[in-house]
Structure 1
Amino acid sequence: MDPLRKTIVVASNNIPKIKATREGFNQMFPGTHDFQGLSVHSHVSDQPFSDEETLRGATNRAQNAQTLKPEADFWVGIEGGVESHNGSFCSFAWIVVIGKRGKIGKARTSAYFLPDKTCKLLKEGAELGHADDILFGQTDSKNKQGSVGLLTGGVIDRAAYYTQAVILALIPFRNASLEF
């Protein structure tokens, strides 16, 4: 087996999350890797409403994937969340990467504000993906372009949005001699 070939478990079967993880790893560690999606619980709300809850969800996902697939080399948790700012919500995500030797990398995406109609649906209890489907007349948009893709007209889709943060979460692994 190729010693540079790594097995990366993405703690989700969400297509954009798997694609973003593949892109991020391939940019930071070029080579042929095995990427596996695995549905695990985040143990947070279906729609996290704070930075802390969202980070906890990403961490829980990565840890739960590690428990279920201990033979892998890396486990990646990606959790999207929203946070209230002066009555509006902004959307963001946390990425947590756990390495075989216990090293952990974390990064947060950039954030963007959501339309008032989306905020209203969130306040009524909708998850962001469902709110987007209602507002934009879509089906399962969170497995496609996501909120960011719908709002940017496809300029930035959900996978591209996550990819930069995956790369940033890999900094500790790229710089293994440094403590983080």
Structure 2
Amino acid sequence: MKIIIGTKNPTKINACKAIFSEYEIEGASVASKVSAQPFSDEETRTGAINRAYGSAALNDNGLGIGLEGGIMFVDNKLYLCNWGALVTPGNDVYTASGARIVLPQEFIADLESGKELGTIMADFSKKENVSSKEGAVGIFTNDLIDRSEMFMHVVKLLRGQWEYSDKQKRKH
């Protein structure tokens, strides 16, 4: 079976390859149809679902996956958030969210002015392509967990839900 993931970002593609190693994985440019920098759980989840549907539409009889990173506020603190969605050939949709980590409050003004977290992180860390490498989570966890590993947890949750549901359908 082929799986198309709605991104060309290597951290997200590698997460899918790690969890679905026995499948053919292909990245595709698919629009999230949300802000370039999603600003809530809801918007981030919607972006993941839109990417999964767009990926599934490119895949005749396989799975479509969308992974989306965003930011959100909890008790006036800025957090990193991430969501994933998996769409089956029958249009069943599975969603999952992953790790969250507090981000520096000084990022808020730049984010509210329209800058994306990846750009802010590149300036902050003095590193290039942070969102295609360790991500904010890698920097702020001292590389104990990187962006690909963070998304691997989400992809595991998606795969587990899909396999469980498939197993239940075969029982009946």
- With normalisation by structure 2, the TM-score equals 0.91
1:59 aligns with 2:49: yes
1:140 aligns with 2:140: no
The equivalent position to 2:69 in structure 1, one of 66, 70, 80, is: 80
Distance 1:57 1:93 in 2: 10
The equivalent position to 1:34 in structure 2, one of 15, 21, 24, is: 24
Preserved contact between residue 9 and residue 72 of structure 1 (Cα < 8 Å) = no
Shift of the alpha carbon at 1:71? Answer: 2.1
Distance 1:138 1:166 in 2: 27
Aligned length: 168
1:122 aligns with 2:111: yes
Distance 1:80 1:107 in 2: 12
Structure 1 unaligned blocks of 5 or more: 1-5
The equivalent position to 2:2 in structure 1, one of 7, 10, 32, is: 7
Distance 1:93 1:105 in 2: 14
* Aligned residue number for residue 3 of structure 1: none
1:91 aligns with 2:86: no
Shift of the alpha carbon at 1:79? Answer: 0.7
Preserved contact between residue 61 and residue 89 of structure 2 (Cα < 8 Å) = yes
- With normalisation by structure 1, the TM-score equals 0.87
Preserved contact between residue 91 and residue 112 of structure 1 (Cα < 8 Å) = yes
The equivalent position to 1:156 in structure 2, one of 135, 145, 156, is: 145
Q: 1:117 to 1:7 in 2, by over 3 A?
A: same
Q: Secondary structure at the match of 2:168?
A: coil
What do the CA deviations read for 1:85-107 (whole angstroms, capped 9, x no partner)?
23321011110011122222211
Structure 2 unaligned blocks of 5 or more: none
Give the 4+ runs in structure 1 shifted more than 3 A: none
Task: Report percent identity of matched pairs.
Answer: 29
What letter corresponds to residue 14 of structure 1 in structure 2?
A: N
**Greater helix percent: which structure?**
2
Preserved contact between residue 16 and residue 143 of structure 1 (Cα < 8 Å) = yes
Distance 2:92 2:59 in 1: 14
Q: Secondary structure at the match of 1:125?
A: coil
